[in-house]
Amino acid sequence: MHSKLSAMGVGLLVAATALPSFAAADPPGGDSGRGLEKSMQCVACHGYGGVTDNPTFPNLAGQNAGYLSLQLEHFRSGKRYDPVMSPIAQTLSDDDIADLAAYFGGLEQKVADKR
């Protein structure tokens, strides 16, 4: 019984380390101050400060920076497609993506007031 539990524990540990990590606070080189400046193009859909009251678009404030960076890279490369986001992401440089991810990832997670 003990050997089964040990084997299962090792298997879980191996599986967990094989998963991609989104725990990075800032993507390498990300500057939240520059991200704030670049975020003005995001406001129309994602709201000021990354919080929108439109249920069609996700809030970006407080999202994990590594996750945001990865999603923008996927939109840019075509690995993920959205008729609005893909063309926007295709104009972003690696630095733009890192800066935007650092900015939105560093904000407090909030929900829009939907009065």
Instruction: Specify the DSSP class assigned to residue 49.
Output: G
Domain architecture of the chain: domains with CATH:
31-115 (1.10.760.10)
* C-alpha–C-alpha distance, residues 87 and 74, integer Å: 12
Whether the pLDDT of residue 14 is over 70: the answer is no
Q: Which pTM value belongs to this model? A: 0.74
* Cα–Cα distance measured from residue 92 to residue 73, given in angstroms and rounded to the nearest whole number: 9
Q: Computed over its alpha carbons, how large is the radius of gyration of the chain?
A: 18
**Are 46 and 59 within 8 A, CB to CB?**
yes
Q: Is 94 helix (H, G, I), strand (E, B) or coil?
A: helix
Give percent above pLDDT 90 in the chain. Answer: 69
Dihedral sign from CA coordinates of 13, 18, 19, 20: positive
**pLDDT value at residue 97:** 98
Residue 40 has pLDDT above 50, yes or no: yes
pLDDT score for 104: 97
DSSP 45-62: HH-GGG--S-TTS---TT
Predicted confidence at residue 17, as pLDDT, reads 38
- Average pLDDT, stretch 22-26? 43
Q: What is the pLDDT of residues 52-101, one digit of tens each?
A: 999 999 999 999 999 999 999 999 999 999 999 999 999 999 999 999 99
Spatial distance between the Cα atoms of 107 and 102, rounded to a whole number of angstroms: 9
Q: What percent of the chain has a predicted confidence (pLDDT) above 70?
A: 72
